[in-house]
Amino acid sequence: MADQLGGASGNATAGDLLSGYTASVASGPITGTMPNQGSLTLQPGASVTPGYYGGGNVAAPTAGSQTFSTPGTYSFTVPSGVTRLLAAVYGGGGGASSGDGVNVGGGGGGGGCCVGFIDVLPNQSITVVVGSGGAGGIVLSGGFGAGSTGGTSSLSTPSASNVLIAYGGNGNPGNVVTAGGSGSGGTGTQNWTGGSAFSNFGGGGAGAGGNGANGTPGGIAFMNLVAGGNGGYYGQTNGSTGQNGFYPSGGGGGGGAYGGTGGAGGNGMVYIQW
Q: Are residues 161 and 29 in the same domain?
A: no
Q: Are residues 19 and 152 in the same domain?
A: no
Whether residue 9 is contained in a domain is answered as no
pLDDT of residue 82: 93
* Alpha carbons 203 and 179: distance in angstroms, whole number: 9
Task: Give 73's pLDDT tier (boundaries 50, 70, 90).
Answer: very high
CA dihedral 256, 208, 150, 247 (to 10 degrees): 70
Task: Give 132's pLDDT tier (boundaries 50, 70, 90).
Answer: very high
* Alpha carbons 255 and 261: distance in angstroms, whole number: 5
Which SS3 state, helix, strand or coil, does residue 15 take?
Answer: helix
Whether residue 186 is contained in a domain is answered as yes
Mean pLDDT for the chain?
Answer: 81
Whether residue 69 is contained in a domain is answered as yes
Q: Are residues 32 and 139 in the same domain?
A: no
Which SS3 state, helix, strand or coil, does residue 115 take?
Answer: strand
Q: Are residues 123 and 171 in the same domain?
A: yes
Q: Are residues 132 and 218 in the same domain?
A: yes
Q: What is the mean pLDDT of residues 266-272?
A: 93
Q: Which of 119, 270, 263 has its CA nearest to residue 201?
A: 263
Per DSSP, 209 falls in state: S
Q: What is the mean pLDDT of residues 173-195?
A: 63
Q: Which residue has the higher pLDDT, 159 or 47?
A: 159
Whether residue 1 is contained in a domain is answered as no
User: Where are the strands (E) in 93-242, listed by range?
Assistant: 113-119, 125-130, 153-157, 160-166, 190-192
Task: Note the pTM of the prediction, 2 decimals.
Answer: 0.76
Whether residue 112 is contained in a domain is answered as yes
* Alpha carbons 168 and 148: distance in angstroms, whole number: 10
Whether residue 176 is contained in a domain is answered as yes
Q: Are residues 201 and 84 in the same domain?
A: yes
Percentage helix, strand, coil, to 5, in the chain?
0, 30, 70
Whether residue 256 is contained in a domain is answered as yes
Whether residue 2 is contained in a domain is answered as no
pLDDT of residue 114: 85
Domain count, the chain: 2
Q: Are residues 35 and 154 in the same domain?
A: no
Which SS3 state, helix, strand or coil, does residue 224 take?
Answer: helix
* Alpha carbons 270 and 70: distance in angstroms, whole number: 9
**Can you give the residue range of the structural domain that contains 45?**
14-58
pLDDT of residue 221: 47
Q: Are residues 36 and 137 in the same domain?
A: no
Q: Are residues 19 and 121 in the same domain?
A: no
Q: Are residues 102 and 26 in the same domain?
A: no
Name, in order, each residue with C-beta under 8 angstroms of 6's C-beta and a sequence gap of 6 or more: none
Distance separating the N- and C-terminal Cα atoms of the chain = 63
Give per-residue pLDDT as tens, 244-266.
Answer: 888 888 888 888 888 899 999 99
Q: Are residues 73 and 191 in the same domain?
A: yes
Q: Are residues 154 and 224 in the same domain?
A: yes
